[in-house]
Chains A and B, each alone.
Chain A
Amino acid sequence: MKQEWPLWEVFIRGQHGLSHRHVGSLHATDAEHAIQNARDVYTRRKEGVSIWVVPAADITASSPDDKGSLYDPADDKVYRHPTFFDIPDDVGAM
């Protein structure tokens, strides 16, 4: 038998109140095994309070070639940023 263990992507919540963040990947045979391995590989120094593992094959990613067109709609809407509006100093903090 010459089959590799599937690849999993690992996400870790660093502290209570923060969102999970991608930290890397690893090989494991199932989800439980992936959690155990993630504990050993990515949290040897108490880097996390919660671990998510996701089969890498199940992740759908946007294509890098779409970089332009996918985000185009945001290009001409600078008014979405608060700094677009000039508020006189006299008004105070806003």
Chain B
Amino acid sequence: MYAQMIKSEATQDDPEKLAAFQARIDAGDKIEPKDWMPAGYRKTLIRQIGQHAHSEIVGQLPEGNWITRAPTLERKAILLAKVQDEAGHGLYLYCAAETLGVSRDKLTEMLLDGRMKYSSIFSYPTLTWADMGAVGWLVDGAAIMNQVPLQRTSYGPYARSMVRICKEESFHQRQGFDIMMKMANGTEAQKRMAQDALNRFWYPSLMMFGPSDAESVHSEQSMRWRIKMNGNDELRQKFVDQTVPQAEYLGLTIPDETLAWNEEKGGYDFAQPDWSEFFDVLKGNGPCSVERIEARQKAWDDGAWVREARLAHAAKKQAAKVAAE
């Protein structure tokens, strides 16, 4: 997902307060910024929301790659709007994280020096225009699976930013599928590009949900705190079951020979992605990992004078206003 392998923090708070806190969560209460919360809840959320925000921001890069080369002016305008939305999603989430007492600059700093991660999916390259279709259809489709239940998460500001994000995300997935339909029904060459995009993005999309829950030591605590709403395997299954018929509609083939409908479980059996690749990408060894952080570092460095000039200008205006009074 956009937040993967989130380590939950053990908590050493007053047992009585902890019990009262858990009771609030169990009763479906929302926790708000000024409420008491266990230190572990706060730390885990900062990590999770921060990683989610970073993913939205870094996620602009693979798509930004195609803005200047979109095939028509309309496609270009749509892609631009989509990438702008991703920036907006990042901003909603950074603000939610900041309510927990971490500063925006600190979050950026931790992304740039590698202490915080972003989703593995954005370390893959976007090689053709069909990849814009595959990213919207599969990557945003997978993100929706996770984000819809997170609208009910226990932390108020996080839940509310998810509501805004989900409203916008459906446009993203549909514009992706629209590109795929055009390509899949186009010339032979276009169809080949569509199939190639699906081939390359299928397994990285499955990885987005994270490794099997059986191997995830942190899921349990996060689920108790209602900051993780569903198991990784459960969401992955849901995603596959939803996506396979869509691929069939497009006349494209899921790159998995073992894929088969399982009547008994009412879902598809499918092959797991290569998890060693996932762990490697998460460590920063993805095909575009270095490039992504370099781009973020450059944006941060090149933007420094703007950040400073705006502050200086505001101070000057304020001083003039005071002098005039």
Contact = CB atoms under 8 A, between A and B. Distances in A.
Nearest to B92: A24
Interface in A1-18: 1-5, 7
Interface residues of A, number: 21
A45 B85 CA distance: 10
Of A1, A2, A24, A26, which is in contact with the most chain B CB atoms at under 10 Å from its CB?
Answer: A24
Contact of A24 (B103, B161, B308, B310): B161
A70 interface: no
Contacts of A20: none
Q: How large is the interface on B (under 10, 10 to 19, 20 to 34, 35 or more residues)?
A: 20 to 34
Interface string A3-44: 111010000000000000001111101100100000011001
B91 A41 contact: yes
Interface in B93-142: 95, 98, 103-105
Nearest to A62: B34
A6 to B, nearest CB: 9
Contacts of B85: 44
A64 B35 contact: yes
Of B98, B313, B314, which is in contact with the most chain A CB atoms at under 10 Å from its CB?
Answer: B314
A78 interface: no
B149 interface: no
A61 interface: yes
Contacts of B164: 23-24
A44 B87 CA distance: 12
A63 interface: yes
